[in-house]
Amino acid sequence: MAGVTRSLDGEPRASVEEVLALVRASGGRATASRRVLLEVLFSSNDHRSVEELAAAVQARAPEVHLSTVYRNLEELERLGVIVHTHLGHGPATYQLARDAHSHLICGHCGRRFEAPEALFVGLAREASERYGFTIDPRHFAILGRCAECPPDVPGDGA
């Protein structure tokens, strides 16, 4: 389902216009800055930081301030159109709320792997049964060491 986002109502949103209709239906406004941000988000499958998104938005609309990008991201996340993820020690990144995927990151070389949600089924079940806790594996990255890097050395931080 590449290119399709799912909002809080569970309905797929495949275009900027559909997301703007959702914004309007929730009482928000379809502003020019929001449209440009959505166009930037729909133009890439990458995880991008706020600063990267703001730079891409400002390349198209220089008058849009960083604070406006932040406010729009908060609203789009509240509506379930985007998700933010913590990929290691860097800033949070944002992308359209497509099919859930988690991340594995090598603490030695930084290589990133997208992990299917199914990988976390057992962990999610155990967390729920044992602690009554629901995990969202899309929200964080699991740090470790990839097969390409040398074995773990105690005290090297990975």
At residue 12, the pLDDT reads 53
Shared domain check, 87 and 107: no
> Is residue 21 a part of any domain in this protein?
yes
Number of structural domains (the chain) is 2
Res 13 pLDDT > 80? no
Residues 107 and 120 in one domain: yes
Q: Does residue 77 lie within any of the structural domains?
A: yes
Per-residue pLDDT reduced to its tens digit, 72-103: 999 999 998 998 988 877 889 998 886 457 88
| CA–CA separation, 31 and 8 (whole Å) | 21
The parent domain of residue 34 ranges over 5-96
pTM: 0.76
Would 23 be classed as within a structural domain? yes
